[in-house]
Amino acid sequence: MNYIIIGYSVAAVNAIKSIRSLDSKGKIYVISEEEKLYSRPLISYYLAGKIKEDEMNFVEGNFDTKYNLKVYYSEVAKSIDFDKKLVYLYGNKKLSYDKLLITTGGVPVIPDIKGYKSYIEGIFTFTKLDDAKNLLNYIKRNKINQAVILGGGLIGMKAAEGLLAHNIKLKIIDITDRLLANTFDKEASCYIEKKLNQHGSEFISNNTIVEIFSKNKKLESVKLKDNKKINTKLLIIAVGVKPNIEIVYNTKMKTNKGILVDEFMNTNLDDVFSAGDVVETKNFITQENSVIAIWPAAAVQGRVAGLNMVDKKFKYDGMFGMNSVEILGVSSISFGLTNVQQKDGFEILVKKDSDYYKKIVIKDNKVVGVILVGNIERGGIYGMLIKQKIDVSSFKNELLRDDFGFLILPKDFRKHLVLKEYLEV
């Protein structure tokens, strides 16, 4: 059996472990555009100077040999012939597969902004280790002490984490009214906004960049929707990532925003599977199709895809949005549906003081959303209540307790909650 995996990151690694748990002999070929395997979420720690490049691997050093892989590093899969079951690489190389897995991840979205040119020095995206390396060099070379981040979502905030460690003053601009709009409410956002202000940084809400000005191919300033101009030598564009489906454009593979897969992570083509940020699957809470571009989702999807590539019978039951960031010492974690109203049938429990905020959203006696700001201890347990769809009616009053934890859960539930299984952040 020949397995080919396109893209080498967390989804691929988990698929490989699954394949090898069932098939020790099959040949596994991996095509990796990047020159090494590393943990993508760690690039903000690298930017911050908290870890070194050789500390960013998330598997054992001998992974490729241990799992008997042939990895084509720094090679790009150019196209796929699904009829002949061939993957073409640049340089006329081709590989044939029996089973194919596409884990090409996401690519940054670049909005249409007047004056934007990809070659302008001082404009960065922030999704790869190379981005972090280039950014670090640029900051040092140009003695940057002020920067603009377009986008206050997960990647924008991760870039902020890295830049703040260099004491760079930030202006973070977002089209919504709050930071981390997918999983934060305005109140949670305010805790971080307050910290940013104390630091001399600023969150600019309900706004966006409409024009970029440069001179001699170097960034000079940006103009906002409200006509305000900000002089800056550094702009990070972090308005989101979109599934990297380029390789399957104009093929018979079905896509929407991402590659469409069933609960076995199987595409519409029999021997072709897909997992991670490139796919669109069911949201665990809403049951609607969506792209949930987070590490634990990619890990579980990869694991399920790998098992099914060998022996189709394992199901993926969906994931929900999740963010965990720490800005200027304020830690936060947020899951699921958090921006909902009581009038729509949700129960909302809140506990807060000046530096602490906890919000729990319940629907039909099940937790469907959580925000923790200032103290994220036991965040994982709330995540599991969502994932396990546990009926909380018998201990609802305990949910806001500072010491809420396993011991407070009814005995019967405790044995079902296996922490590692569900929260692999």
Region binding ligand FAD by CB under 6 A among candidate stretches 5-13, 165-173, 184-192, 282-290: 5-13
273 scored as a contact of ligand FAD (CB under 6 A)? no
Tell me the two tokens of residue 103: 């884990």
Q: Closer CB to ligand FAD, residue 79 or residue 221?
A: 79
Contacts for 131 with CB less than 8 Å, ≥ 6 apart:
43, 124, 125
In whole angstroms, what separates CA 12 from the centre of its chain? 15
Tell me the two tokens of residue 423: 């929260």
Choose among 51, 49, 332, 55: nearest CA to 164. Answer: 49
Question: What is the nearest approach in angstroms of ligand FAD to the Cβ of residue 391?
Answer: 27
Query: Which residue among 144, 173, 285, 294 contacts ligand FAD (CB under 6 A)?
Result: 294
179 scored as a contact of ligand FAD (CB under 6 A)? no
274 scored as a contact of ligand FAD (CB under 6 A)? no
258 scored as a contact of ligand FAD (CB under 6 A)? no
Q: Closer CB to ligand FAD, residue 126 or residue 316?
A: 126
Question: What is the nearest approach in angstroms of ligand FAD to the Cβ of residue 305?
Answer: 11
Return left, alpha or beta for 324; rule: phi > 0 is left, psi -120 to 50 is alpha, else beta: beta
Three-state secondary structure of 283-339: ECCCCCEECCCCHHHHHHHHHHHHHHHHCCCCCCCCECCEEEEEECCEEEEEEECCC
Question: What is the nearest approach in angstroms of ligand FAD to the Cβ of residue 218?
Answer: 25
Query: Which residue among 29, 46, 126, 316 contacts ligand FAD (CB under 6 A)?
Result: 126
7 scored as a contact of ligand FAD (CB under 6 A)? yes
Question: What is the nearest approach in angstroms of ligand FAD to the Cβ of residue 167?
Answer: 20
In whole angstroms, what separates CA 415 from the centre of its chain? 30
In whole angstroms, what separates CA 70 from the centre of its chain? 27
* DSSP-based three-state secondary structure for 87: strand
Region binding ligand FAD by CB under 6 A among candidate stretches 207-215, 292-300, 303-311, 401-409: 292-300
Q: CB count, 10 Å around CB of 315? A: 12
Question: What is the nearest approach in angstroms of ligand FAD to the Cβ of residue 175?
Answer: 20
- Subset of residues 189 to 248 that bind ligand FAD, contact rule: CB under 6 A: 244, 247
CA torsion sign for 42, 331, 125, 87 is positive
Task: Please tell me the distance from the alpha carbon of residue 183 to that of residue 142, in angstroms, as a whole number.
Answer: 35
Angle (nearest 5°) at CA 7 between 3 and 11: 80
Q: Closer CB to ligand FAD, residue 32 or residue 266?
A: 32
Question: What is the nearest approach in angstroms of ligand FAD to the Cβ of residue 32?
Answer: 5
Q: Closer CB to ligand FAD, residue 8 or residue 404?
A: 8
Question: What is the nearest approach in angstroms of ligand FAD to the Cβ of residue 274?
Answer: 9
Query: Which residue among 3, 29, 106, 150 contacts ligand FAD (CB under 6 A)?
Result: 106
71 scored as a contact of ligand FAD (CB under 6 A)? no
259 scored as a contact of ligand FAD (CB under 6 A)? no
425 scored as a contact of ligand FAD (CB under 6 A)? yes
* DSSP-based three-state secondary structure for 115: coil
Query: Which residue among 3, 4, 9, 399 contacts ligand FAD (CB under 6 A)?
Result: 9
Choose among 125, 24, 5, 33: nearest CA to 68. Answer: 24
Q: At what angle do helices 295-310 and 10-22 cross, to 10 degrees?
A: 30
Counting residues that bind ligand FAD (by CB under 6 A) gives 36
Choose among 31, 82, 104, 75: nearest CA to 258. Answer: 104
String marking each residue 10-39 x if it binds ligand FAD according to CB under 6 A: xxx------------------xxxx-----
- Subset of residues 133 to 172 that bind ligand FAD, contact rule: CB under 6 A: 154-155, 158
87 scored as a contact of ligand FAD (CB under 6 A)? no
Give the sheet arrangement for strand 330-336, strand by strand.
322-327, 330-336, 366-373, 356-363, 347-353
Query: Which residue among 295, 320, 335, 404 contacts ligand FAD (CB under 6 A)?
Result: 295
361 scored as a contact of ligand FAD (CB under 6 A)? no
Q: Closer CB to ligand FAD, residue 41 or residue 115?
A: 41
Q: Closer CB to ligand FAD, residue 201 or residue 324?
A: 324
In whole angstroms, what separates CA 141 from the centre of its chain? 29
* Cα-trace Rg, the chain: 22
Return left, alpha or beta for 104; rule: phi > 0 is left, psi -120 to 50 is alpha, else beta: alpha
Q: How far apart are the first and last CA of the chain?
A: 32
Site of interaction with ligand FAD (CB under 6 A): 6-7, 9-12, 31-34, 40-41, 43-44, 76-77, 103-106, 126-127, 154-155, 158, 244, 247, 276-277, 293-296, 298, 324, 425
